[in-house]
Amino acid sequence: MHLQSSNLICWLSITSIRGAAGITFENVEHTFDTLQTWYNSSTGLWMPSTGWWNSANCLTMIANLAAIDDKIKDRTKDLWQEVFNNAAEYNKQMTQAHGAFWRRKLPLELEYRDATDEDTANVGFLNGYYDDEGWWALAWIAVYDLTLDQKYLDKAVQVFDDMHNAWNTTPVGGVWWDRSNTYVNAISNELHFSVAAHLANRRPDQKPYYVDVALNSWLWIYGSGLINAQSNIEDGLWAKDETGLNLPKVWSYNQGVILTALTELDQALQQPLYTAMAKLIADAALANFTSMLDTHDPDYIIHESCEPTCDDTSSLFKGIFVRSLARLHAVAPEDRYGIVLMKNAESLWRNVDQWNRLGSVWNNTTVGAGASAQCAGMDLFVGALGTLGEWEGDGVYEDGKAHSQ
């Protein structure tokens, strides 16, 4: 039995004939099987194929999937508690061994330091990076939405409280990227905004508080200079190249997180201006990451600038973007968003391999296959099925749905 979800996400699968277009529920279950070959039950993470924060996004995607598919919901009924226990314990052990920055990743290289008592006390899903914490808070909110188990929402609140303790501690306001105070970036502040907006819609007794936090976070982002003249969100402030010039890097996930945050804030306040702003940012992102506006040769396929050599971090970015685009399309539909979801899903499925692996380039072979690329591709399928329904063969977009030709 396949369930419809008011949350956005109807789920999807790939046709059983490799290379055929169209998205069906059965086939996505096969991609889930493949994803779980990278899952390590002892750590509760999809490591080492992917990383700590990436695993939080995998958990979010699976929770969204389980919310609309009884088969997956049944198969994952023990997963949530396993991740809750084992990932937290793994984080504690790694923090004790290497300090709060054990998951060291680019863009900035940080030195390991000795762990302190403060680092290891009740570490759970806290570490040296505020963006990591935001991803885990959103993951536990998604699991709460699925299970209605209060402990998952409580965990999200605890994680967010730690994030919010860093609010307005930088010289320019907002939240630092990390506890070493090296960088003020978009993603940490977008996640701070998004988690607050999500909690405003899930903690009615504390709604005024979370709305106030979310509004202040959004106003800071809007006035910070992170949103450029093209309405693209740049990676951060003070990012420089070797000559000292600004590096206004634009990644797809920065455009995505803000979409969900704005739609959640709209839901909390019932003020459509936030959805209108989300559409402005979404349209700017599609203009930047696709050539769909090319009147001579339009191409709806979303590309990250690092392709075809995206690593296990950047290969996840597009999945986060399309997850959020589908969320926006669910609450404020636009034909162009539906077509983008349909075209990308069909293209990705045409390039799946015999092991149901998904690559990081959605119109090419399975280059970069791994847990991050798999989660990103499944986010695309989930978003497409959730908003467009199920279809086989080459699809035609009509009346808000994808129809088989």
At residue 309, the pLDDT reads 94
How does pLDDT run across 213-249, given as a tens digit for each residue? 999 999 999 999 999 999 999 999 865 555 555 556 8
At residue 45, the pLDDT reads 97
Contact between residue 35 and residue 58 where contact means Cβ atoms under 8 Å apart: yes
Separation between Cα atoms, residue 266 and residue 275, nearest integer Å: 6
At residue 94, the pLDDT reads 85
Closest by CA to 177, choosing from 237, 88, 118, is 237
At residue 106, the pLDDT reads 31
Separation between Cα atoms, residue 236 and residue 227, nearest integer Å: 10
Q: Please state whether the peptide bond connecting residue 272 to the residue before it is cis, i.e. omega within 30 degrees of 0.
A: no
Tokens of 47: 């490591």
Query: pLDDT under 50 in the chain at which residues?
Result: 1-19, 104-121
At residue 390, the pLDDT reads 83
* Domains with residue ranges and CATH for the chain: 22-83+125-404 (1.50.10.20)
At residue 68, the pLDDT reads 84
Angle at 80 between CA 79 and CA 85, to 5 degrees: 100
At residue 1, the pLDDT reads 41
